[in-house]
Amino acid sequence: MGNQKLYKGSLQTIILKLLAATDKMYGYEITQKVKELTKGELTITEGALYPALHKLEAEGLLDVEVAKVDNRLRKYYKLTENGTKETVSRLAEMEDFLRTMQTIVNPNFSLE
Amino acid sequence: MKKDIKLTPEQIQELYKFTRQHFVEHYDMQTELVDHLANDIEQIWQEKPTLSFEDAKKISFKKFGVFGFMDVYGARQGALQKKYMKILWQHAKAWFRLPKIIATFAFYYFFFRGLIEYGDTFALSIIGVVVVFGLVKHILLLRKVKKRQKLSGKKWLLEDIIFKGLFLGGGMIGINLFNIINISSPDVYNIFWAVFYAAIFTIMVVYVYISVEVLPKKAEELLIEYYPEYSLIST
């Protein structure tokens, strides 16, 4: 288990990145995907995921779709045009951040 | 190979009831939480197929933390209020463009002249009229939304915000204006104060009109646009 606090500020970027790689995803699928990709290192809690999704939706970065699946309604999220643009810039910011952290944590290491 | 166990329609209804018992009264929010719990319960059953529905539900609910659904619910309300303000702003912009800007300007001029001529008496009368109008409309809208929700058997969060949410915010602005006027204004308004208050009053009139008159009338259209499931359910 990593320190979940360190991931907290990156949750929106993680969601955007996952949605950029696929057509649409629902909340639970996102939590499972993150768990799978990080081999259980990062667990997105329910209390953090939905507020982040709703915030991105209110900002117009995500659009929603609803479909009936297995006797119930499922809400899917997908990127809007603005969301796609925002993903690119947030990922660039994230890379800058990682580079800066790297120079502090391990000055001799280079990503190049 | 593990067999997939799916929840029955009765169990899904049970989950809807469960969210209501945990203070989630809006259908849009319930639906997302029900699907999440259902997915998690099915996942838990993959590992422990003999576990009862009730026990699996308890395990799943615990993952939401000590406040249960409240964190998610509160954040959703905040996000939708922001969305509502965006819709309100989109409608407000029309009042500052032709042709509606003529009416806006007429209001502005009326307030400006009134303030110059009659000072505080005029200012307090205008606030009084707007507050009384707003309150009467607010009571009528509350009745209307209650009737709507009784008829459909479902509450939508955005519907609640449209019909009753933001007027309270408007009321607060009114009361604060009252205080500002009492503290800062002279009995007779000079040009500077008249220009300033006439602008505030004009914005207040546009805001109250859109929130209690325009948006409630467009509620159906807004709900269909915002909730993809809305038309899926109502048809």
Q: What is the pLDDT of residue B6?
A: 87
* Structure tokens belonging to residue B82: 């922001």
Residues B89, B38, single domain; the answer is no
Residues B111, B87, single domain; the answer is yes
Domain boundary among B25, B40, B68: B68
Within-domain flag for B2? no
Confirm or reject CATH 3.30.70.980 for domain A4-105, answering yes or no.
Answer: no
Within-domain flag for B4? no
- Average pLDDT of A60-72? 91
Domain limits at B16? Answer: 9-68
pLDDT tens for A54-65 read 999 988 999 999
A51 and B232 within 8 Å at the Cβ level: the answer is no
Residues B176, B229, single domain; the answer is yes
B79 and A58 within 8 Å at the Cβ level: the answer is yes
Within-domain flag for B165? yes
Residues 30-69 of A with CB under 8 A from B: 32, 45-47, 50-51, 54-55, 57-58, 64-66, 68
Residues B105, B29, single domain; the answer is no
Residues B56, B152, single domain; the answer is no
Residues B41, B125, single domain; the answer is no
Q: Fill in the DSSP letter of residue B166.
A: T
Taking Cα atoms as reference points, which of A94, A75, A32 lies closest to residue B226?
Answer: A75
Taking Cα atoms as reference points, which of B192, B203, B196, B161 lies closest to residue B76?
Answer: B161
- For residue B166, the tally of other CB atoms under 10 A from its CB is 20
pLDDT tens for A21-43 read 998 999 999 999 999 998 888 88
Q: What is the pLDDT of residue B1?
A: 41
Within-domain flag for B148? yes
Within-domain flag for B3? no
Q: Which residue of B has its CA nearest to A65?
A: B228
Residues B19, B64, single domain; the answer is yes
Within-domain flag for B89? yes
- Average pLDDT of A69-98? 93
Domain boundary among B47, B68, B89: B68
- Average pLDDT of A67-91? 93
Taking Cα atoms as reference points, which of B76, B58, B157, B16 lies closest to residue A47?
Answer: B76
Find which of B17, B45, B70, B72 to mutate to test the A interface (most A CBs within 10 Å of its CB). B72
Domain boundary among B68, B91, B110: B68
Q: What is the pLDDT of residue B106?
A: 95
Evaluate if residue A107 carries a pLDDT over 80: no
A64 and B228 within 8 Å at the Cβ level: the answer is yes
Residues B126, B213, single domain; the answer is yes
Q: What is the pLDDT of residue B232?
A: 77
Per the omega criterion (within 30 degrees of 0), is the bond before B99 cis?
Answer: yes
Residues B193, B118, single domain; the answer is yes
Residues B24, B117, single domain; the answer is no
Residues B85, B51, single domain; the answer is no
Contacts of A55 in chain B (CB under 8 A): 75, 79
Q: What is the pLDDT of residue A2?
A: 53
Which residue among A55, A70, A73 places its CB closest to the CB of B229?
Answer: A73
Q: Which residue of B has its CA nearest to A28?
A: B36
Distance CA A87, CA A70 (A): 31
When divided into structural domains, chain B yields a total of 2
Distance CA B197, CA B16 (A): 50
Q: What is the pLDDT of residue B187?
A: 56
B35 and A74 within 8 Å at the Cβ level: the answer is yes
- Give pLDDT < 50 ranges for chain B: 1
3-state helix, strand, coil in chain A (%, to 5): 60, 15, 25
Confidence of residue A9 (pLDDT cuts 50, 70, 90): confident
Residues 179-218 of B with CB under 8 A from A: none
Question: Rounded to whole angstroms, what are the CA distances from A76 to A24, A68, A73, B67, B214?
Answer: 6, 11, 10, 25, 30
Q: What is the pLDDT of residue A44?
A: 87
Evaluate if residue A19 carries a pLDDT over 80: yes
Within-domain flag for B39? yes
Q: Fill in the DSSP letter of residue A107.
A: T
Select the more confidently predicted residue: A5 or B29: B29
